[in-house]
């Protein structure tokens, strides 16, 4: 009998079934009733690898580069460098009475630099699935020594072309010295990984003892999962769909522990799913509802307040998790 790979529970719940074609067998989307992780059966790494598409075309757009430059310029403003030092442990200046500023300004932590990771140790960082390396460039600009691994050849070449220290492959194929990195990032990557236990074990091995792993994944425990189910799950592009509970059980299994879980909610993603649902309706409903969904007023008056509410109730569609060694 098939068991959950994370918590070993049996009697898995079938969420839905994809009918067989001449190329592939019938496939079930399953959910574990105990830890709530979702995965597919039969599980086909080959299909997942095809979804990773070595031939996937991507160009760095001038818009992306402008946005990157704007972000770097903003972060490097003296006031932001000062705040990063006080709130996030970065090191730019020699500040007298720094500990007093830390006490006085600590309440600002809840609203400032929420997407910037704290500075850890000597600042060696690995970005797993680094894409074309834009995040690495931002982190380098504030003091991190970054390395990246990227499995898609085109993205790897683009990152390499931007003079970044990147290797082609995954944590399965590229080796690093033990206890080398102070921080390891999996940003919108971990849900694509078909062997999460082995991958986390490798990450743990190359992480220093007081280092941190940061994982950002879609959150299964969210409204979008119940409303849009397979669109949200997105197999085979996404191999697993995690909730805070399943991710913490997974960490426990490999001797890691979750220090903090932040839940976010993306209005753009919610609108994208709604539009996809509408595309299946017949006309004139399809055109009529699509026009409403794409209207700025609809986003402002309905979607954004809804996302704010979901985030407050910790029911948003993205979770960012900070993980340490036990």
Complex with Zn ion: residue 39 or 273, whichever CB lies closer: 39
Complex with Zn ion: residue 30 or 158, whichever CB lies closer: 30
Q: Report the nearest approach of Zn ion to the CB of residue 250 (Å).
A: 9
Give the list of residues 6+ apart from residue 160 with CB closer than 8 angstroms, or none: 166
Report phi then psi at 323, rounded to 5.
-125, 140
The Cα–Cα gap between 260 and 73 comes to: 29
- Check if the beta carbon of residue 325 is closer than 8 Å to that of residue 209: yes
Q: Report the nearest approach of Zn ion to the CB of residue 302 (Å).
A: 35
Complex with Zn ion: residue 39 or 270, whichever CB lies closer: 39
Q: Which two tokens stand for residue 129?
A: 């699935």
Comparing CA positions, the residue from 170, 141, 144 lying closest to residue 155 is: 170
Q: Report the nearest approach of Zn ion to the CB of residue 193 (Å).
A: 17
Complex with Zn ion: residue 120 or 250, whichever CB lies closer: 250
Q: Report the nearest approach of Zn ion to the CB of residue 247 (Å).
A: 11
DSSP, residue by residue, 145-163: EEEEEESSHHHHHHHHHTT
Q: Report the nearest approach of Zn ion to the CB of residue 7 (Å).
A: 3
Complex with Zn ion: residue 2 or 20, whichever CB lies closer: 2
Comparing CA positions, the residue from 167, 170, 139, 166 lying closest to residue 68 is: 139
Residue 241 DSSP code: B
Complex with Zn ion: residue 7 or 86, whichever CB lies closer: 7
Complex with Zn ion: residue 36 or 269, whichever CB lies closer: 36
Residues of this chain that bind Zn ion (CB under 5 A)? 4, 6-7, 9, 32, 34-35
Q: Could you tell me which residues are beta bridge partners of residue 126?
A: 147, 184
The Cα–Cα gap between 322 and 262 comes to: 9
Q: Which two tokens stand for residue 197?
A: 């236990």
Q: Report the nearest approach of Zn ion to the CB of residue 312 (Å).
A: 28
Comparing CA positions, the residue from 249, 108, 126 lying closest to residue 180 is: 126
Report phi then psi at 271, rounded to 5.
-65, -40
């Amino acid at each position: 009998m098939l068991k959950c790979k994370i918590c070993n529970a049996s009697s898995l719940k079938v969420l839905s079934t994809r009918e067989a074609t001449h190329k592939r067998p019938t496939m079930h989307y399953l959910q574990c009733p105990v830890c709530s992780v979702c995965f597919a059966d039969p599980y086909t790494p080959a299909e997942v690898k095809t979804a990773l598409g070595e031939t996937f075309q991507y160009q760095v757009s001038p818009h992306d580069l402008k946005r990157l430059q704007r972000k770097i310029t903003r972060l490097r403003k003296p006031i932001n460098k000062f705040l990063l030092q006080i709130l996030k442990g970065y090191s730019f200046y020699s500040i007298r009475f720094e500990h007093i500023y830390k006490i006085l300004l600590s309440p600002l932590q809840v609203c400032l630099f929420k997407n910037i990771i704290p500075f850890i140790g000597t600042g060696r960082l690995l970005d797993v699935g680094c894409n074309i390396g834009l995040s690495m460039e931002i982190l380098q600009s504030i003091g991190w020594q970054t390395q990246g691994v990227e499995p898609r050849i085109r993205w790897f070449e683009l990152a390499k072309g931007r003079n970044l220290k990147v290797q082609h492959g995954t944590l399965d194929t590229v080796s690093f010295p033990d206890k080398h990195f102070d921080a390891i990032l999996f940003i919108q990557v971990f849900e694509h990984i078909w062997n999460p236990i082995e991958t986390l074990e490798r990450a743990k091995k190359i992480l220093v003892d007081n280092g941190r792993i940061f994982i950002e994944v879609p959150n299964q425990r969210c409204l979008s999962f119940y409303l849009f189910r397979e669109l949200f799950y997105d197999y085979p592009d996404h191999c697993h769909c995690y909730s805070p509970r399943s991710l913490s059980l997974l960490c426990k299994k490999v001797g890691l522990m979750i220090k903090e879980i932040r839940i976010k909610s993306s209005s753009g993603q919610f609108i994208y799913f709604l539009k996809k649902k509408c595309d299946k309706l017949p006309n004139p409903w399809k055109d009529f509802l699509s026009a409403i969904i794409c209207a700025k007023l609809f986003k402002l008056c309905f979607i954004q307040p809804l996302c704010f509410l979901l985030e407050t109730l910790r029911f948003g569609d993205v979770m960012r998790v900070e993980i340490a060694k036990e």
